[in-house]
Amino acid sequence: MATPKWHVERLSELLHREIGTVIAQDVRDPGIPGIVTVTEVKLSKDVRNATVYVSVMDGDREEKENVIDALNRATPFIKRAVASRMVIKNFPQIIFKLDTSIEHGQRINELFKDIQDDLAR
């Protein structure tokens, strides 16, 4: 049975905030650097699964994938910590994925700047 849209959006926002707080303050894994930002939480319609998109500021693609692996290994801890802060009947399964939209946006801005420089010549 599908959950009402407003409930999914509200729960997504709450998970976004709480997961970000737990990662920033409570996770003490050396594989997870200090600059990890939760950019979006997408919940399934039945709110049983949550895909958490994170942005990692430093490192190359391989290092960022290692951070995602470390977050996925820390998922049970993160899930317990977040669940203790919330009142929710069934806590969703969490899967972390890398959000590359920031890098993509930076690349587009660089291309626009190059075009603007070429037109100025």
pTM (two decimals): 0.82
What CA–CA distance (Å, rounded) separates 76 from 113? Answer: 44
Q: Quick one: pLDDT at residue 88?
A: 86
Confidence (pLDDT) at 30: 84
β-pair type (36-43, 49-56): antiparallel
pLDDT at res. 1: 55
Residue 95 to residue 68: CA distance in whole angstroms: 9
pLDDT tens across the length of the chain (121 residues): 566 778 889 999 999 999 999 999 999 888 888 689 999 999 998 899 999 999 988 788 899 999 999 999 999 999 999 999 998 888 999 999 999 887 778 889 888 888 888 888 7
* Domains of the chain (ranges, CATH numbers): 5-120 (3.30.300.20)
Return the pLDDT at 7: 83
